[in-house]
Amino acid sequence: MQEGSLDLNLNQLSAMAVLLNSGDQLMGELAAQEKIRPPSMTRIVNSLEARGYVLRRPDPRDHRQCLVALTDSGRDVLLANRRRRDQWLAVRIAELDPAEREVLRRAVRILEKVNRA
């Protein structure tokens, strides 16, 4: 399992997740999806690029801009992080009693409804 994600902050992991889920993004698009200012996204992308987790390439439609893409290494680190979190959460949920797990099941439906709004 890759341990690289242990050194990443939530903003970096979130930006990588957008790239995994939505594909290559222009820097401005990535910033908009993450609801942060473009200079902040530039810093995030710079740090991820230095680690080899993302790369930039010219936008074929507008060579003044660049697309940010997740590398194979970045994908591996992100998925390893997800597996670690999923394992941790599964253990914590298994420690709950059945009534508490039922409350969580109902809460998930409510949270999904809020998320769609």
* pTM, to two decimals: 0.80
pLDDT digits (tens, 9 = 90+) for 38-54: 999 999 999 999 999 99
| pLDDT score recorded for residue 1 | 42
Q: What is the amino acid identity at position 14?
A: S
Statement: residue 99 has pLDDT above 50: yes
Would you identify the CATH topology of the domain 4-116? Arc Repressor Mutant, subunit A (1.10.10)
pLDDT digits (tens, 9 = 90+) for 2-24: 555 568 999 999 999 999 999 99
Domain segments of the chain as ranges? 4-116
Q: Pick from 75, 73, 72: which is nearest to 83 by CA? A: 75
The whole-angstrom separation of Cα 39 and Cα 41 is: 5
Beta bridge partners of 57: 67
- What radius of gyration do the chain's Cα atoms show? 17
Beta bridge partners of 58: 66
